[in-house]
Amino acid sequence: MTAVNLVQLTRHFGHVKAVEQLDLAINSGELVALLGPSGCGKTTTMRMIAGLLAPSAGDVQFDGKSMLKVPAEQRGAVMVFQKHLLFPTMDVAQNIGFGLKMQGVKPAEIRQRVGEMLELVRLPGFERRRAHELSGGQQQRIALARALVIQPRVLLLDEPLANLDANLRLEMRALIRKLQRELKITTLFVTHDQEEAVMLADRVALIFDGALQQYAAPQAFYERPRTAPIARFFRNDNFLLGVKRQNQVETALGRLEVDLEQVNQPDGPVLLSVRPEEIQLHPTATDNLLYVPVLSSVYMGAYTQVQLQVNGQPWLAHGPANLHLPAGAQIAIRLPAARIWLLPVT
């Protein structure tokens, strides 16, 4: 197992700052998601870790040793790309065993390790099939087996599930997580999908415009985002300006209590935030109530999505699946003190 440290890692393309002074510590055997919108620097970061791209400044370290002068083929970092890149003239066994053959491994050992990999990715008996005879999900499993068979120090996954349909993505997520836990390989996973990052990662590194915004366990991005843009990226746009004084926030709609153990902002102007699933509709409790109009309600299968107007801004709330609220209705909503999160006003 290998610990990976990025130290002030920077990459510029002319005047474009693709990655800017990125500090990131990945523990040995950990699975970390590099998450962010397209063009934020995720893949550039991964290519620098793999040695496929030289940084403009900073360092890439494996177990405390700089990799900058170590060629890509000697780093022990293997990438699995969005496109499977299987050799069309080779069968499955030859594709998986290619790296071992290049390392001079004996044919008998290659056959054994290829068979073990096919069992691991749940494709036993597929040795003689060609790439065109495989489904998209099967091709991605073979690409993963080809990367794992050489026993890399670090596994780098660059949006490998982006071309799969929804059901296959779920299946492959579960497989990747299972393999990573069994093999204990330090793994970095590039994605722009919040759900994918949350399902797979031990920790998530959220990147905007080449800069690290927050690095934490997945739950923190929902419950304790550092800024409003981070909250928005995780699909929460429910904000209300206020002024905090000890355990209360004075807003345009009235005074609300907060749980001081849940907030980290000093007294003064704040941005109050509550996730849609935490808002109580038609509450039985009488504290922290707001009376607001309904803009719309939409059946979403597992729940009803209700759009509210809160101080002139649209908020979303989640109610029971059988709930229907007509547009224009005035309702009471409750913001539980323990579920309110306060953000800095920027």
pLDDT per position as a tens digit, 141-164: 898 899 999 889 999 999 887 777
Cβ–Cβ < 8 Å for 91, 123 = no
Task: Give residue 262's pLDDT.
Answer: 83
- What are the tens digits of pLDDT across the range 182-217? 889 999 999 999 999 999 999 999 999 999 999 999
Strand boundaries in the chain, DSSP class E: 4-13, 16-26, 31-35, 57-62, 65-66, 77-80, 154-158, 186-191, 203-208, 211-216, 239-245, 248-251, 254-257, 268-273, 280-281, 289-299, 304-310, 313-319, 330-334, 341-343
Q: What are phi and psi of 85, to 5 degrees?
A: 55, 40
- Residue span(s) of the chain under CATH 3.40.50.300 come to 4-223
DSSP-derived letter for residue 161 is T
* Range 4-223 has CATH code 3.40.605.10: no
Task: Give residue 63's pLDDT.
Answer: 97
Sign (positive/negative) of CA torsion 199, 275, 36, 263?
negative
Give the pTM. Answer: 0.90
Among candidates 30, 75, 343, 68, which has minimal Cα distance to 187? 30
Burial 49-60 (b: 16+ CB within 10 A, else e): bbbebebeebeb
Cβ–Cβ < 8 Å for 110, 97 = yes
Task: Give residue 189's pLDDT.
Answer: 94
- Residue span(s) of the chain under CATH 2.40.50.140 come to 236-343
Task: Give residue 34's pLDDT.
Answer: 97
Rg value, the chain, Cα:
24
**pLDDT beneath 50: ranges in the chain:** none
Highest CATH level, class, for 236-343: mainly beta
Task: Give residue 57's pLDDT.
Answer: 97
